[in-house]
Structure 1
Amino acid sequence: MKRTHLPLNGLRVLDAAARYLSFTRAADELAVTPAAVGQQIRTLEDVLGVVLFRRAAKGLELTPEGEAGLEPLRAGFLEFEEAVRAMQAGQSSKSLTIAAPRDFTAKWLAARLADYGRTDAELGFAMVAAEDNLDFTQANLDLAVCFAEDKGEHEGVALGGKNYVTVGVSNAPDRAIGWPGCPQQDGEPVITVADAGLAIDAAAAGLGRAIVPALLAEADIAAGRVQALAQKDGTKAYWLIAPVPQWRQKKVKALVAALTEPA
C-alpha cells in the first residue's frame, strides 16, 4: 500500500503552536520567526483542507478539527522518538566488526586491539578478512583496513606513511622474496609468498630479503627477528576507512583515535 506523504515540518509546528496557543512562543521553541510558524500552519491547512486555529477574544484557539488530530499526532511523535532511539541503540554497543588483510592483523593490528581492549572490558572485536570492493552494509562492517594509494571513496586516515623497508637476517642469500604487490626488485625471487607478512617470515627464516611496508615489519625488527637493511618510498599505505555513517559512530571514532595515536 502506498503511504501518504506526511508534512512532518508542518505537523511539528502544529504540535508546538497547540501546546502554547501562541505562534510567538512556538517560534521561540523551534528557533524560527513567528511569521515562519504562521506560514507553516497556513501551508498545513491548505494540504489538509481544514482550519486548525482561529483567533478568539482571549487569543489563539484550536478548532475542533485541530483538536481531534492532536492526541494521535503527539503519540506519533513519541513513536518517532522511539524509532530514533532504536536506530541509535547500536551506538551504545562496544562491539566492532573490522575487515583487514590477514598479515596486517597478525603483524600490527591484533596487538593494538589487545591494548585498546584492556581499556574497557565491554569492548569486543570481530575480525574478517579484507576483500576487494568491500560492501560495508552487506558485511555489517564498522571499519576496514586497506592497502592502497589513497582512501578512495570513503572517509579514512592513513596509518604511518608510504614507507618500505628491506628486511633480512645475517648470512641469508642476497635474493628477493616476492609477494603480490611488492615493489620492483632486481632479479627473480627465490620464493614467492601470499602476502607481505609471510614475506617477513620467509626473510626471518633466512630464505632471502623482502621489501615490505615498514609499518608491517616494526614488531619483527624490534624483536630482532629480522634486520632493517634499507629503506625506500613506495606508492601504497595502510588506510583505516569507512563510509560516512560508520565513520561518525562514536565507537569507530574512539578506535581510530587509539590506532592513530603516536606511540
Structure 2
Amino acid sequence: MKRTHLPLNALRVFEAAARHLSFTRAADELAVTPAAVGQQIRALEETLGVVLFRRLTRNLELTHEAEQALPALQQGFLAFEEAVRQMQAGQSSRVLSIAAPRALMAKWLTARLAEYGRLNPELRFSISAHEAGEVDFTQANLDLALSFGGEPQAEGIHGRTLGEERLITVAAPGTAPDAACIAHPLDPETPCVESGLTVADAGLAIDAAAAGLGKTRVPALLAAADLAAGRVVALDAGEAMAAAWWLTAPTPQWRQAKVRALVAFLIG
C-alpha cells in the first residue's frame, strides 16, 4: 500500500500549538521562534488545504476540523515514540552475541569476556562457533564476529584488527628441537621434516604440544596464555603473518554503544 507523504515536522508543530493554543508557548517548547511556528502552521494549512486555527484578538482557537483530528494525531505521535523506545531497547540489550573460531574462544576470548563481565555484571554473553567464510549476521542475529584472515571485503561489513600477528613455534619445556610437528588448519604448510599429528584447530595443537606430543606453529595470540603459564615455551622468535585477527560487524552494529565498548576493551 502506498503511504501518503506526511509533513511530520509541521504536524509536530501543530500538535504543540494546538495543545497550548499559543504560538509563543509552542515555540518555547520546541526551542524555535514564534515566527517559525507561524510559518510551519501556514505551510501545513496550505499543504492540507484546511484552516487549522482561528486567529482571535488575544488567543487562538482550533477549527472544528483541527479539533476533531487532534486526538488521533496525538495518539499517532505516542505510537511513534513507543516504536522508537522499542527499537532503542533492542539495540541497548544487555546481551552480546558473538561468533568466533573455537581456538580463539578457548585460548583468548573467553578469559577476556570473563574479565569484561566482572567489570559489567549486568551483561550476558551468547557465544557461537564460526570457523571460516563469511558470517551471516542477519540469520545468526550476531552483534560481533571474530575471524582470522585479511581485512573484511563483504559489502556493508567493517572490521578492526587486534593487531599484527606472528606465527611462532611452541612445545612443552624440554622438547627436543627435532620433535615431530603437530599440524593444524592455520599452518597448512608445516615446515617440519615429519608431521606426527594433525588436529582440528590451533588451540588443540597447543594443548597437544603442551602434553609432549611434539611442536607446533601457531599464531602468537593463541599461545600467549600458555606461554605465560609455562605450559609451552617458544622455540623461535616467530615470523610475521599476512593474516590477522579481525573484529567484524555490519555498519548498524558499530553504532551500538555495547559493541563499541566491547571492541575498545578487546583491542585495548
**Aligned partners of 1:189, 1:42: CA distance in 2, in Å?**
86
| 1:166 paired to 2:173 | no
- Contact 1:96–1:126 (CA under 8 A) maintained in structure 2: yes
The aligned amino acid for 1:146 is S
Corresponding residue of 1:198: 204
**Aligned partners of 2:16, 2:104: CA distance in 1, in Å?**
54
The two structures have a TM-score, normalised by structure 2, of: 0.83
| 1:108 aligned counterpart, secondary structure | helix
1:164-202 CA-partner distances (Å, limit 9, x unpaired): 322123215355433224275435661433222122223
Task: Give the alignment partner of residue 236 of structure 1, picking from 236, 243, 257.
Answer: 243
**Aligned partners of 1:87, 1:12: CA distance in 2, in Å?**
21
CA RMSD in angstroms, aligned pairs only: 2.7
- Contact 1:103–1:195 (CA under 8 A) maintained in structure 2: yes
Q: 1:53 to 1:186 in 2, by over 3 A?
A: same
**Aligned partners of 2:194, 2:116: CA distance in 1, in Å?**
38
Corresponding residue of 2:191: 186
Corresponding residue of 2:229: 223
- Contact 2:165–2:221 (CA under 8 A) maintained in structure 1: no
**Aligned partners of 2:129, 2:16: CA distance in 1, in Å?**
51
Within a 5 Å distance, the mapping from 1:203-214 to structure 2 comes to 203-214=209-220
The aligned amino acid for 1:201 is D
**Aligned partners of 1:50, 1:160: CA distance in 2, in Å?**
63
1:237-259 CA-partner distances (Å, limit 9, x unpaired): 21222223323323323322332
Structure 2: 5+ residue stretches without partners: none
Of stretches 124-133 and 99-108 in structure 1, the one that deviates more from structure 2 is 124-133
| 2:235 aligned counterpart, secondary structure | strand
How far residue 109 of structure 1 moved from its aligned partner, in angstroms, is: 0.9
Q: 1:8 to 1:208 in 2, by over 3 A?
A: same
| 2:140 aligned counterpart, secondary structure | coil
1:38-83 CA-partner distances (Å, limit 9, x unpaired): 4433343233221223433224443222222112111211121122
1:134-173 CA-partner distances (Å, limit 9, x unpaired): 1222111122111122254434332243233221232153
Corresponding residue of 1:252: 259
The aligned amino acid for 2:98 is I
- Contact 1:177–1:192 (CA under 8 A) maintained in structure 2: yes
Corresponding residue of 1:13: 13
The aligned amino acid for 1:110 is T
The aligned amino acid for 2:50 is V
**Aligned partners of 1:44, 1:127: CA distance in 2, in Å?**
51
- Contact 1:177–1:189 (CA under 8 A) maintained in structure 2: no
- Structure 1's consecutive aligned runs of 4 or more residues displaced over 6 angstroms after TM superposition are none
Structure 1: 5+ residue stretches without partners: none
Of stretches 65-74 and 95-104 in structure 1, the one that deviates more from structure 2 is 65-74
The two structures have a TM-score, normalised by structure 1, of: 0.84
